[in-house]
A and B are shown apart, each in its own frame.
Chain A
Amino acid sequence: MASLGELERSVMEVLWTSDVALTANEMRDALALRDDAARMVATTTVLTVLSRLERKGFVSRSRDMRPHRYRALLSREEHTAELMHEVLDRSADRDAALARFVGTASAGEAATLRRLLDELARH
């Protein structure tokens, strides 16, 4: 049995690779085709996971028609950028609650990354 965290990750993977908004049933079918722990789950489980993800601000739901359709709010790359941004910002201003190993050393890459992120944000 897959943990809730793994299920959330698998559901997001499905949404991130899909070009269109999906229903819970379509997602269940897509999960069944995947080769990981999340295959073969009930639609109700998918709905539970989706509402958790919606509450956390990762998924948006369109309620125009039934069944509701879901899509990822941001791309995987955008979320990764957000995460890296937080960690690198912390290391740059020494405002570090979280310990890091490289942080200090990657200042150059941090500058490059920040430029890329800023470009990304402008689109």
Chain B
Amino acid sequence: MLAVSAVLGVLAIALAWPVPVVLARADWPSRAPAAALALWQAIALAGGLSMIGCLLAFGSAPAGSLPAAVAALAPYLLTGPLPAGFGVAEIAALTLAVAIALLLTLNLALTAVRAERERRRQHQLIGLLSHPMPGDPRTRVLAHPVPLAYCVPGIRTATVLTDGLIDVLTADELTAVIAHERTHLDQLHHLVRLSFRAWHSAIPWFPIANRAEHAVITLTEMLADDGARRAVGTGPLRGALERVGDAGESGASLDGTSGADSDAAMLAARLGRLDEPATPPPADPRGVRAAALTASAVLVAVPLVGYAVILGIVP
């Protein structure tokens, strides 16, 4: 049990710091964004499972398994004394494991409820304020001068453009923008983003959580760009990005926040990868993709095997 605890502890630490840092700096994710997105999810999931599993394994080591530890501790939980073999460290580890698990699940639930409420309000407002785009009833147009496009996910979805955007883009560029938003909706990017936002808000002081969320947002934007490229080709997408990108440059100097800086960096990264051909995919991503997907599967499998040991399913 202590060996399981040690392995999971090492994995948890690796996934909390060095691995995300290396991945955030790597340049292959822009060529294989789907695989990179899978890897980020595997890192977050395996990291959380390992951290909790490490504490559970350590805390239940005296009894040999978690069910046995619960059976041994339950009668004495309120009255004491501690059964033989259990010390303060074990109890602290088990308590911490439960606390972390609760924090993460409650935060996810809270974030999901909040997003759902926001989404309902958005749908109400969109329904009242926008009108369907001529020739494309699934797209709604909002009378506002700020150029903006976004989508509202859910069972009922909406893609919204403003008058301001329609004014500055050509017809092809608009089609690219709409295809981009549709890709977000079709690939359910909001669910990935939601889980990383919840993770970030559960541990806001942890810089890696911020970096991971930013990487995930960038990757989903790139995947949506690929959807737009498949639909209308590279030219219109580049045109749309560049045209609204100009506004972004001036904006960055105007309010000078770090958010605007990282937005400019993201835009540069999205534009940079458009220079590479979309189809057929360059040769090396295929190997990279396979490696990333294998790594994702292994990362999640290790803590799951650990849990099998902790629960006493595997001796």
Contacts and interface: CB of A to CB of B under 8 A. Distances in A.
Interface of A: 5, 8-9, 12, 56, 58, 76, 79-80, 82-84, 86-88, 92-111, 113
Contacts of B119: 97-98
Contact of B197 (A87, A95, A113): A95
Interface residues of B, number: 60
A106 B246 CA distance: 9
Given A80-B129, A107-B255, 15 more contacts: A5-B127, A9-B128, A12-B128, A58-B124, A82-B125, A84-B144, A94-B217, A98-B122, A98-B152, A101-B244, A102-B148, A102-B247, A106-B251, A107-B252, A110-B251
Contact of A110 (B131, B146, B153, B190): B146
A108 B254 contact: yes
Contacts of A82: 125
B260 interface: yes
B148 A79 contact: no
Interface of B: 115, 118-119, 121-122, 124-129, 131, 142-144, 146-153, 162, 165, 177, 180-181, 184-185, 189-190, 193-194, 197, 213-214, 217, 220-221, 224, 240-241, 244-245, 247-248, 250-255, 257, 259-260, 262-263, 266-267
Contacts, number: 144
A63 B266 CA distance: 54
Given A8-B127, A97-B115, A104 B266 contact: yes
A87 B240 CA distance: 19
A107 B251 contact: yes
B128 A100 contact: no
Contacts of A76: 129
A60 to B, nearest CB: 15
Contacts of B127: 5, 8-9
Contact of B190 (A84, A97, A109): A97
Contacts of B255: 107-108, 110-111
A107 B121 CA distance: 24
Nearest to A110: B251
Interface centre among A80, A82, A102 (most CB of B within 10 A): A102
Contacts of B152: 98
B219 to A, nearest CB: 12
A108 B220 contact: no
Nearest to B114: A97
Contacts of A93: 259
A97 B128 contact: no
Given A99-B189, A106-B251, A109-B146, A92 B259 contact: yes
Contact of A109 (B251, B253, B263): B251
Interface centre among A76, A94, A107 (most CB of B within 10 A): A107
B250 A100 contact: no
Contacts of B189: 99
Contacts of B162: 84
A107 B250 CA distance: 8
A86 B122 contact: yes
A79 B128 contact: yes
A105 B251 contact: yes
A8 to B, nearest CB: 6
Nearest to A95: B197
A96 B194 CA distance: 8
Contact of A99 (B125, B146, B190): B190
Contacts of B147: 102, 106, 109
Contact of B148 (A12, A99, A106): A106
Contacts of A105: 241, 244-245, 247-248, 251, 263, 267
Contacts of B177: 101-102
A12 B130 CA distance: 12
A97 B216 CA distance: 11
Contacts of B250: 108
A119 to B, nearest CB: 16
